[in-house]
Structure 1
Amino acid sequence: MPILWSFRRCPYAMRARLAIVSSQQQVELREILLRDKPDVFISVSPKATVPVLQCDDGKVLEESREIMFWALGRNDPDGWLNVWHENPAYVLQFFDRLDGSFKTDLDRYKYASRYDVDAALTHRDAGIVFITELDKILSRQPALSGAKMGLLDFASLPFLRQFRIADIEWFDAQAWPDLHRWLQAFLGSSRFDR
């Protein structure tokens, strides 16, 4: 059985787990503490970041999006990959921005004490640009992936959750009605609880 090395609160690991559950793939879940990584985990993936999928054929996937595509490529009963089939270039561009500049801004905003505290609001403002664009997309269609929730939604939701957690009162006061609806529907869902 494939082994998924994970950390419960990591947004990358969260989106990998969401895809695995949606695809109905069976994996052995191994939750680790990032401050106390087991030697066997490091031997599987010297990069030592989660998530890591150790496939039953010996292949090791070390990126959450690779794990999402692996799982959904095997079984996609909810059509998460429809957006990929329709426009793979757009999906890759979206992922690159989400995992690149937005994640950098999120980290420097949420973990301001680790970085330059004075720059935290600058990074929050940069993140706002992306979030506002997502709200505009959600004002035109029910989900980032189109008519229904799919790959782009479940890849993004864990990161938007983190951005909100950095200052819930501030976040909830922002004029993003469609994004708030979308995020709250996820946070209140049995899928998120699971």
Structure 2
Amino acid sequence: MSLPILYSLQNCPYAMRARLGLLLAQQGVMLRAVVMKNKPAAMLAVSPKATVPVLVLDDGTVIDESLDIMIWALHENDPLNLLHSERSDAYPAMLALIEVHDTVFTSALSQYKYAVRYHSDDEIALRNQCADYAMMLESRLSQHAYLMGDKVSLADYAILPLIRQFARVDRQWYLQAPLPHLREWLNKHLQDQRFAKAMAKYPQWLETNEEFLFGQAD
């Protein structure tokens, strides 16, 4: 049986999210590294939305939303119990938290990055919108080590890549902001060897015609 194919871009936070999900589920795929300025025709043929990540299963099923890739992988195998299967209310609560992140926060973050780059007048207002969400996470993390309690969950890894991006927009502000627990949480994840594996760089598939085994347990 052939392995699924993953089209991925190294520094895209959504592609990072998908790669983390596959690693955490120990789900092997064949990774094809792409760049957005030269999108493979094979990827466009299966996912006309033309963004990464794109996962093509061996039966031809296409999953091209990062959270859906995480969820598919963890429903296949969840060795760390990231879905907190012992609690019936945990999974819906994770999805609700991620939904706010994927709508309100990511929209504000996109505008905030643009404002900082072009020195727009609304930079501080946009940063404050992002900070409101960050402070909500800070409040959670002041009570327990992870977003859903004392055990790591899907929510932590789904939210991680965009919080990493937020922390880098205005590094000086972030480091002095009243977010000590969020900074500790982020640093803990970034120093984990799983994140290092998720961020490994691969040669472009269109240049080398090479795809790489990714995600399987060592």
Tell me the TM-score range normalised by the shorter chain: over 0.9
Give 1:113 shift.
Answer: 6.6
Q: How far apart are the structure 2 equivalents of 1:72 and 1:89?
A: 15
- 175, 182, 185: which one pairs with 2:185? 182
Structure 1 residues 34-113: aligned runs within 5 Å: 34-82=36-84, 85-112=88-115
How many Å separate the matches in 2 of 1:89 and 1:128?
A: 24
> Deviation at 1:116?
8.2
Query: Which consecutive unaligned segments of at least 5 residues does structure 1 have?
Result: none
Percent identity for Structure 1 against Structure 2:
41
Alignment partner, residue 158 of structure 1: 161
Q: Greater relative contact order (Cα 8 A, min sep 6): structure 1 or 2?
A: 2
Corresponding letter in the other structure for 2:96: Q
Report the Cα distance in structure 2 between the residues aligned to 1:171 and 1:5, rounded to whole angstroms: 32
Of 165, 170, 177, which aligns to 1:167?
170
Kindly report the root-mean-square deviation, in angstroms, between the aligned alpha carbons of the 2 structures: 1.7
Compute the TM-score of the two structures, normalised by the length of structure 2: 0.84
Q: What is the alpha-carbon distance in structure 1 between the residues aligned to residue 127 and residue 88 of structure 2? A: 33
CA distance in 2, matches of 1:115, 1:64: 29
Equivalent position amino acid for 1:16 in 2: A
Q: Does structure 1 retain, via aligned residues, the 8 Å contact 2:167–2:174?
A: yes
Q: Is the 1:20–1:71 Cα contact (8 Å) retained in structure 2?
A: yes
Q: CA deviation at 1:145?
A: 2.5
Distance across 1 between alignment mates of 2:116 and 2:90: 39
Equivalent residues of 1:135, 1:178 under 8 A apart: yes
Alignment: residue pair count: 194
TM norm structure 1: 0.94
- One-letter amino acid of the structure 1 residue matched with residue 110 of structure 2: D
- Find the residue that maps to 2:122 and give its secondary structure: helix
The CA deviation at 1:5 is 0.9
Q: Distance in 1 between matches of 2:190 and 2:119?
A: 30
Task: Say if 1:108 and 1:115, in contact at 8 Å, map to a contact too.
Answer: no
What residue number does 1:130 align with? 133
* Cα distance in 1 between the residues matched to 2:154 and 2:118: 31
- CA 1:87–1:183 in 2, change beyond 3 Å: closer, same or farther? same
8 Å CA contact retained: 2:94, 2:148: no
Q: Would you identify which runs of 4 or more consecutive aligned residues in structure 1 move more than 6 Å? A: 113-116
CA distance in 2 between counterparts of 1:134 and 1:70 reads 25
